[in-house]
Amino acid sequence: MTVLAIDDDPTQLELLGVYCGSLEYPRIEYLKAETQAAGLALAHEKVVDLVFTDLHLPDGTGFDILTAVKAMNPAVAVVAMTAYQDTTEAVSLLKAGADDYLTKPVRKSDIERILLRVNERDALIHEAFLPPSGGLPSSPKAAGIMYQGYAMASMLSTAARAATSDTPILISGESGTGKELVARFIHERSGRKGPFVAVNISALTESLAESELFGHARGAFTGATLDRVGRFEEADGGTLFLDEIGETSLALQVKLLRAIQFGEIERVGENTARKLDVHIVAATNRDLAAMVAAGSFRRDLYYRVNVIEIHLPPLRERKEDIRLLVDHFIQVYAGRSGKAITGISREACDSLVKRSFPGNVRELENLVERAVVLCRSDILRVEDFPPELPEAAPEEACAEWIPSGDYEKSMKDFECALLRDAVEKAGGNKSAAARALGMGERHLRSRLSILGIE
448, amino acid identity: L
Residues near 391 by Cβ (< 8 Å), separated by ≥ 6? 356, 358, 432, 436
Distance CA 155, CA 314 (A): 12
- The answer to which of 88-92, 101-105, 308-312, 394-398 has the lowest mean pLDDT is 394-398
The Cα angle at residue 79 between residues 4 and 93, in degrees rounded to 5: 140
In terms of domains, do 248 and 113 share one? no
232 — pLDDT class (breaks 50, 70, 90): very high
In terms of domains, do 298 and 365 share one? no
Question: Which pTM value belongs to this model?
Answer: 0.68
> Is residue 358's pLDDT more than 70?
yes
Distance CA 88, CA 44 (A): 30
Rounded (10°) CA dihedral 117, 121, 122, 128: 160
In terms of domains, do 239 and 366 share one? no
In terms of domains, do 302 and 334 share one? no
In terms of domains, do 178 and 231 share one? yes
* Residues in the chain, total: 454
80 forms beta bridges with 53, 101
In terms of domains, do 327 and 398 share one? no
Three-class SS state of 97: coil
Q: Mean pLDDT over residues 368-385, rounded?
A: 92
Picking from 384, 402, 420, the residue at the C-terminal end of a domain is: 384
In terms of domains, do 31 and 84 share one? yes
30 forms beta bridges with 3
Higher pLDDT, 128 or 338: 338
In terms of domains, do 193 and 274 share one? yes
In terms of domains, do 303 and 428 share one? no
Picking from 276, 311, 346, the residue at the C-terminal end of a domain is: 311
Greatest CA separation for the chain: 88
Higher pLDDT, 234 or 407: 234
- Residues spanned by the domain of 326: 316-384
| 257 is a domain residue | yes
129 — pLDDT class (breaks 50, 70, 90): very low
In terms of domains, do 370 and 422 share one? no
344 forms beta bridges with 380
| 287 is a domain residue | yes
Counting the structural domains of the chain, the total is: 4
| 201 is a domain residue | yes
| 136 is a domain residue | no
In terms of domains, do 374 and 417 share one? no
Q: What is the domain-level CATH number for residue 210?
A: 3.40.50.300
Beta carbons of 31 and 43 less than 8 angstroms apart:
no
In terms of domains, do 169 and 300 share one? yes
Higher pLDDT, 160 or 138: 160
